[in-house]
Amino acid sequence: MMNFNRWSFTEYLKILEHFSLSEWIGFSLAVNIALYLFSIGLYIFIEKTCRKNKLQHFSHPIVRSDFYLSILTIVCNSFVMLLGVFLWKNNWIELDDNFSAVSIFLQVVALVLLMDFCMYLFHYAAHIPFVYKRLHGKHHEHVNTNFLSLFVLHPAETIGFGLMILALLIGYDFSVISITLYLFINLIWGTIGHLNKEFFPARFNTYFVGTTQFHNQHHLDETKNFGFYTSIWDKLFGTYKM
């Protein structure tokens, strides 16, 4: 079965390799629009079906400027994807085609932990007053979150996050399955992190999990909880608060 999967992904990559620029632009936009809509749908579904109490009394209102900024985030994510394609086609990024279930699992774990550390540093730097005022402050207008909060980011932030991922892909040959799974986890985690209801069991807050309440606390107190997937770095560097 694994050999068949390798063949399938190899053939799939060969098809993509022959895409024209216009086809790549259309493909990247289609993928990122689909992920955007999936995130919104997942957010609304959990909010409607979760019986837990709200973390805050009301959600941030949906405003036109946030919607436009979320669309710009889609465009920026598409640009990062196109940049990744350019690096791949010019052999800056090599994809591991000798993967197994174990290697995929280990690669996904490595991507989560490495990106969590990079994102902690990036996020901490975004709260330096000069940077915060010009870039990150708009996101923190959402003290109470809504289904667009994840995408209300300055373009420099969106591209910065993408460049960190690309740097890791240049440094190590991950499989396309591992990269895809990581990006899907990233989207789901970001969506859950901006819910107005706790998604995880309460005991998870005593572990190293970056729960909904963990990130919600960051929106309430901007000096704490800079991590994303875990609370490891916040506990290590003294920025943890619950």
pLDDT at 15: 76
pLDDT at 197: 83
Handedness of CA 111, 156, 221, 211 (dihedral sign): negative
Q: Please give the average pLDDT of every successive group of 10 residues along the chain, which has 242 residues.
A: 53 76 93 97 90 78 92 97 94 86 94 95 93 90 90 94 96 92 95 87 79 88 91 93 82
pLDDT at 210: 86
The residue ranges of every structural domain in the chain are: 2-183
Q: Please tell me whether residue 225 adopts helix, strand or coil conformation.
A: coil
- Pair 194, 149: CB distance under 8 Å: yes
Each residue of 190-216: b (16+ CB within 10 Å) or e? bbbbbbbbbbbeeebbeebbbbbbbbb
pLDDT at 10: 66
- Pair 202, 193: CB distance under 8 Å: no
pLDDT at 4: 41
pLDDT at 1: 40
pLDDT at 54: 77
pLDDT at 6: 54
Backbone phi, psi, residue 197, to 5°: -135, 140
